[in-house]
Structure 1
Amino acid sequence: MSEKKNRLLPLAALCIISALLGGVSSVSILQYVYPETLSAIEAQASLNSADTNRPVTLLANTQTDESNSPVVQVAKEVGPAVVGISNYQTVSNLQRYGFGLGSRNNTQSSELVEAGTGSGFIIDAQNGYIVTNNHVIEDAKKITVSLSDGRNLEAKLIGSDSRTDLAVLQISDTSNLTEVKLGDSSKIEVGEFVVAIGNPGGNEFARSVTAGVISATNRTLQMSGESTLYNMLQTDAAINPGNSGGPLVNYYGEIIGINSAKYAENGFEGMGFAIPISEATSIITQLIENGVAKHPALLVSVSDQYLLYAKEKNLPLGAYIYEVNPEGPAGKAGIQEGDVITHINDVKVENSTELIGEIYKHNVGDKVTLTFIRNGQTKAVQVTLGEIASQ
């Protein structure tokens, strides 16, 4: 992202580690920021694949011939598909968001100025589609893309989704483009090596490469003032402004994540987060096809203010429903204000973040069973999930 410079101060937020397969969660208070809008995550390098049928040959001669290093091979293969992205905004918008260089005059000039930079990668060379973060291109009046061969092209925004922090751009000149290969992030294990490629600080340091490991999976980041990001990959990569939207790659040259955020507490290093590619692909496809993405929803409003009361009174924890759309799926199934949802199917949810995260694991139209508490009694109903579109 490019630092919406003075705007992006470290913000306190609640990090809930939501285990996709195990259903176990833990809670800690952290400070998260988007490393740019313009800033990001760098990540690092990978072996240790969960798929034992795939021979890991790239490491064979790393001690005797550095040119055979997996990181070198990944950089050669994926680097040409990585692009720099510039977000241009009007002077008045920059002043409104605090992007100026320290002074705020009252000019109403409509001149376009580079507000920030980020990264992206070519997902479809034939059609010129590029994936990046929503926060990299947010509020842009003009977007340009810098390619590995030196070309600088204006890009069209095809679609964006703030709920998942994803966006798709398109360039019209598709000659001599290189596209990435997508991996399967659902098979990632803690300790696997990964490589991050991006443009920290803008085009001056284009396609910089860093390497490290997957530190954890299934992290939930509740960004203060931003959308909650679910099931994130955590990496120990160095973080520098400009890497947001760039790829996190395994040692097979496959994209397994999209670098998106970092832990910004003073004294902490090497805590970056990437959107798993296997969860991003359905959103990317929707953005390309429709310009917007649809998400599964109950169409209720939830609150965690109930949790303190529940702990004091030794009541079951859950997601407290304080408003219900009577025409929505939950309303039609009989969910009422004051109900406390404790399970989706057989998965326990103890707060609103876990409820939404679990809902997002399903698709629009899926049937789920909600277990809830009403007036001290446990009840259950089946609900067909509705939809909400991109914000």
Structure 2
Amino acid sequence: MGYYDDEDNHTESKPESDNPSRQQRESRLRGGWFLSGFIGAIVGMVCLLIFAPILSDLGVFPYQVTGSQNSNTTGSATFNRQVNVDVTSSVTDAVDKVSPAVVAVINLQKANFFDNKYTESGIGSGIIYKKDNQYAYVVTNNHVVSGAEKVEVRLSDELKTSATVLGKDSLYDLAVLRIPAKNVKTVAEFGNSSKLKRGEPAIAIGNPLGFSGSVTEGIISSTNRTIQVDSNNASIEAQVLQTDAAINPGNSGGALVNIGGQVIGINSSKIASTGSSTDESVEGIGFAIPINVAKPIINELETNRKIERPMLGISIVDLSMVPSEEASQLEIPSKIKTGLVVTDVQRSSPAAGSGLEAGDVITEINGYKIKSYIDFSTYMYTKLHAGQNVTIKYYRMGKEHTTKLTLGSKTFS
């Protein structure tokens, strides 16, 4: 019982209860694999935590890993991983390139007549655009240094130096300063504002609210915007760049930069406030003087310390602003819809020498038909120059006349 004879091999067979089943053998085998795998995983994790910082330092990982072990009251270990990402882009390259040339411009004034101490009256920004063996030259906004009894420039490394105001132009809100060259290491590169496209990146760098070296980024919103600017009883439509990069008080005179790190405009918060036709606050609208417009003015201020602009020597009012009853007394032809009414002629002025009188209605200058007062001023200050001979067409008591004169000069400082 319990044994049988194999006719061929005559082997003995153990009782069935003593021979493990196949299912039991597989269960034991799986248990062994799991235990081995679990132990291997624990060993691997410990090795990774120990050797990860070493491998990171050797550049094996694309990030840096630093391990630190802190013991708590229960004796357990906590490992912290620090990941440092080195971000470099076209924007960061552009900022690195031009930032050392963007400075703070400090307007200093005396607190009172008897006190010889100067106090900070205002702060703006400026751009170092030129350097020679002795001096470096800074362009900023005229309103930044307006009324200053002393001007200081703070370089990007926080060093301060006294500055000399070489020249100012209130019409285009520009000024040129001169500082010692010894501590100046970087000079900004001017770009070409006529090549700009709407939507391309724009970076504003300056000192808004006194925060040195602040950077804001946006795009060029418009390349050919015109804003009415008033100065010294003159008004013009100034061409400006519009951007949504934030431009705030203190940014004035700072750089508007393209993606190549070239200066394409000079920021002006004054123009921004002038361009706002409502009392409501706006966002995403900033203005800068195109560098192509600014360059000839900068060169003139650096060389001659002033801008001489043409002058007629008359006071005028836009014909469209004259009440209809008064306009009828001028007896101008009905076909004449636009022009400038002369209200006063200065003594010994070019206009006085040409025979112009109060009540005359000027319709053309050098063949350019006048559309409005702003249009006339813009044309004269941007297309004509002092000392130039011009021809003026005007109406007096219904009759057309022509006269010639040599334009005088006027400065806006």
- Structure 1 and Structure 2 fold alike (TM over 0.5): yes
Match 1:208 to one of 183, 204, 215: 215
> Residue by residue, what CA displacement relative to the aligned partner does 1:103-160 show, whole Å, maximum 9, x if unpaired?
xxxxx64432111110000111223110101110111122111112231112111222
Alignment of 1:229-378 (within 5 A): 230-260=238-268, 261-263=271-273, 265-304=279-318, 307-309=321-323, 316-325=337-346, 327-361=348-382, 362-378=384-400
Read off the aligned partner of 1:238 and give its amino acid letter: A
Instruction: State how many pairs are aligned.
Output: 311
Read off the aligned partner of 1:233 and give its amino acid letter: L
Structure 2 length normalisation: TM-score? 0.67
Match 1:84 to one of 89, 98, 104: 104
Read off the aligned partner of 2:388 and give its amino acid letter: D
- The aligned counterpart of 2:224 is 217
* Structure 1 portions without partners, runs of 5+: 1-64, 94-107
Deviation at 1:192, TM superposition (A): 4.5
Deviates more, 1:354-363 or 1:223-232: 223-232
Classify 1:350/1:258 alpha carbon distance in 2 versus 1 (closer, same or farther; 3 Å): same
- Report the secondary structure of 1:289's partner residue: helix
Cα distance between partner residues in 1 of 2:217 and 2:317? 40
Alignment of 1:37-56 (within 5 A): none
Cα distance between partner residues in 2 of 1:297 and 1:163? 14
- The aligned counterpart of 2:121 is 115
Read off the aligned partner of 2:99 and give its amino acid letter: G
Is the CA contact 1:164–1:227 (under 8 Å) kept in the aligned structure 2? Answer: no
If you compute each CA radius of gyration, which structure gives the higher value, 1 or 2?
Answer: 2
Is the CA contact 1:306–1:320 (under 8 Å) kept in the aligned structure 2? Answer: no
Cα distance between partner residues in 2 of 1:205 and 1:190? 28
Classify 1:176/1:111 alpha carbon distance in 2 versus 1 (closer, same or farther; 3 Å): closer
Deviates more, 1:381-390 or 1:356-365: 381-390
Deviation at 1:196, TM superposition (A): 1.6
Read off the aligned partner of 1:75 and give its amino acid letter: V
- The aligned counterpart of 1:49 is none
Cα distance between partner residues in 2 of 1:241 and 1:254? 22
Cα distance between partner residues in 2 of 1:255 and 1:113? 31
Cα distance between partner residues in 2 of 1:161 and 1:182? 20
> Residue by residue, what CA displacement relative to the aligned partner does 1:31-69 show, whole Å, maximum 9, x if unpaired?
xxxxxxxxxxxxxxxxxxxxxxxxxxxxxxxxxx96233
Cα distance between partner residues in 2 of 1:343 and 1:66? 59
Deviates more, 1:306-315 or 1:190-199: 306-315
Deviation at 1:282, TM superposition (A): 2.5
Read off the aligned partner of 2:100 and give its amino acid letter: P
Deviates more, 1:188-197 or 1:177-186: 188-197
Higher relative contact order (CA 8 A, sep 6+): 1
Cα distance between partner residues in 2 of 1:218 and 1:329? 33
> Residue by residue, what CA displacement relative to the aligned partner does 1:189-215 show, whole Å, maximum 9, x if unpaired?
55444222111111x342423322142
Cα distance between partner residues in 2 of 1:235 and 1:348? 32
Is the CA contact 2:247–2:267 (under 8 Å) kept in the aligned structure 1? Answer: no
Read off the aligned partner of 1:352 and give its amino acid letter: Y
Deviation at 1:80, TM superposition (A): 1.3
Q: How large is the RMSD of aligned CA atoms in angstroms? A: 2.9
Deviation at 1:186, TM superposition (A): 4.1
Cα distance between partner residues in 2 of 1:129 and 1:149? 17
Provide the identity percentage.
37
Cα distance between partner residues in 1 of 2:155 and 2:362? 49
Cα distance between partner residues in 1 of 2:400 and 2:323? 18
Read off the aligned partner of 1:389 and give its amino acid letter: T
- Report the secondary structure of 1:196's partner residue: strand
Deviation at 1:233, TM superposition (A): 2.6
Cα distance between partner residues in 2 of 1:184 and 1:368? 32
- Structure number having the greater helix percentage: 2
- The aligned counterpart of 2:171 is 163
Read off the aligned partner of 2:191 and give its amino acid letter: G
Cα distance between partner residues in 2 of 1:385 and 1:348? 18
> Residue by residue, what CA displacement relative to the aligned partner does 1:76-114 show, whole Å, maximum 9, x if unpaired?
221111101111112248xxxxxxxxxxxxxx6443211
Cα distance between partner residues in 1 of 2:189 and 2:272? 25
Deviation at 1:175, TM superposition (A): 3.7
Deviation at 1:188, TM superposition (A): 4.3
Classify 1:73/1:130 alpha carbon distance in 2 versus 1 (closer, same or farther; 3 Å): same
Is the CA contact 1:310–1:316 (under 8 Å) kept in the aligned structure 2? Answer: no
